[in-house]
Amino acid sequence: MIFLQNVLFGPAGYPEAAQGNLKRVFEILVDAGVNALEYAAVHGLRTTEEKAKQIGNLAQESGIAMSMHAAYYINLASKDPEIRERSRQRLIKALKFAPLMGVQRIVFHPGIQGGMTPDEAHIVVRDSLRSIWEEIGSQPRGIFLAPEIAGKIVMYGSVEQIIGLCQDVEGCIPTVDWAHLYARSQGQMNDGESYRKVLTKFEDALGSLFINNMHFHISGITFTERGEASHKPLGEEWGPDLYPLIEIIHEVGYKPTFICESPNPLRGALYAKYIFEQIEKGK
């Protein structure tokens, strides 16, 4: 789609000012000057087919690129086969609704490594994802499952694990959550060199699959020794510093989608867009 010719910025979830009015949601996004939206199905996908089609039509008319964040409680790494099956079905439902909504990326957390070794967890998650595509029949055109870097260290979702999933399962692309990486690294991943190393890892491992489908989450964040504690506003005292990352994006010519998950996600998306525009002006 034409969206991927540009760097995209948008919020996770509807702007509060829309008060749930779908038409108003897209009017606010257009008026603000952003061009992406991540539909928040984090407590389950609770829409109807009729409303899903309405979202898709409004997104198309407004020039807004759509993604979806699937339920937080998905856990494909669980030892309990019933939990894994319910998690699979949630992703299958998301894949069925995605074409109606114009959604191209379905973001999800693979789960918690509950008593499994990293290798055991990888096999269980990998096989669950492969079985999803088998049940669907084929990958809907242009729609990807997008496993996310995890903020908590106990969760399945390191850089290496997400790369491994995307190598082993067709139809998967990574969601790189830079705030989560900052938390996992205890604040170390916060400068141009560290950003560049992560981008190079993904690019070397996944090539054009990564380059052509970059999906990033951004936010301020606090952390403990266990990783992520809570999301915070962008542009204030909390890390990570986005400027070096956006500088690299501009320098190399990458075309990612930036989805902001901070407490005021539309404001955060505009903050990231502002940084990009200032770098663009100074080139």
| Sheet-wide strand order for 175-177 | 8-11, 257-260, 215-218, 175-177
The confidence score (pLDDT) of residue 2 equals 36
Whether 218 shows a pLDDT value over 90: the answer reads: yes
Across the range 146-156, mean pLDDT stands at 94
Residue 181 and residue 202: Cα distance in Å, rounded? Answer: 14
Tokens in use for 119? 């290798």
What does the DSSP assignment read for 239-264? S---HHHHHHHHHHT---EEEE-SSS
Instruction: Give residue 283's pLDDT band: very low, low, confident or very high (50, 70, 90).
Output: low
The confidence score (pLDDT) of residue 1 equals 35
Nearest 10 degrees: CA dihedral of 44, 48, 49, 54? -100
Tokens in use for 65? 């690129």
Give the chain's domains with CATH numbers.
2-281 (3.20.20.150)
Placement of tokens 């894949």 in the chain:
95
